[in-house]
Amino acid sequence: MMQTETSDNSTPNVTEPRNDWYASWGKRAFDVVVGSMMSVALAPVICVSMILVAVKLGRPVFFRQRRPGLKGQPFEMVKFRSMTDGRDASGKLLPDDQRLTKFGKFLRASSVDEFPELWNVLRGEMSLIGPRPLLIQYLDRYSPEQFRRHDVRPGVTGWAQVNGRNAISWDEKFAFDLWYVDNYSLMVDLKILAMTVLKVVKPSGISAAGHATMPEFQGNEE
């Protein structure tokens, strides 16, 4: 069973940078080559999805949000929108579960909503494989050990996603993320990519019990 360490130090842990070929240039080359091939192969699906999202959910077609990337530096992540803009009488957005339509659930279950992130991969802001980019406001809530998930580029898919996705706890998710940071390699990335394909064919762990996706990370208990 994987475990994460905790620390009272408010400064993120500093780890020695890896200098092997995959960390130095292989992982980025893998992202560019495989990401380019996937972009071409999935282009018809992406085009059809753009039309369907516009018809069923309206414009804008894409959901854009600033997320923390490598070393916690922010970037704009791009996905297909999967929710409506439904609001209450005061103009406030309705809860996620009330704005998530059947079509939106299909986009998430099939992971089609993630396809536009290939653009982020080709731009060098994300990797095909890595810890998922979470919300900016979580940055100040991580323990120093948890912050190490930003020692690599965030991924379109990752070790936590193929081991439970949103159905696992935050502690488990971070443990999987940190295992990946310490153990990623070409073989590990190929394994995760293959497992992701199986998860797309047979979706599971799309949401946590009682939530449209995953409950908010509130930080670590003192």
End-to-end CA distance of the chain: 23
Pairing verdict, β 155-157 and 127-129: parallel
What are the sequence ranges of the domains in the chain? 21-86+93-201
For the segment 184-211, what is each residue's pLDDT rounded down to a tens digit?
A: 999 999 999 999 998 887 765 555 445 4
Instruction: Record the pTM.
Output: 0.83
Q: Measured between alpha carbons, how far is 154 from 71 in angstroms, rounded to an integer? A: 10
Rounded-to-integer distance, Cα 88 and Cα 200, Å: 34
Bigger pLDDT: 16 vs 34 = 34
Of 15-19, 62-66, 82-86, 201-205, the range with the lowest mean pLDDT is 201-205
From residue 138, give the alpha-carbon distance in Å to each of 44, 111, 200.
35, 23, 27
Banded model confidence at residue 221, pLDDT cuts 50, 70, 90: low
Amino acid of residue 84: T
Integer Cα distance of 212 and 108 in angstroms: 10
90 burial type by CB count under 10 A (0-12 exposed, 13-18 middle, 19+ buried):
exposed
Q: Is residue 77 predicted with pLDDT exceeding 80? A: yes
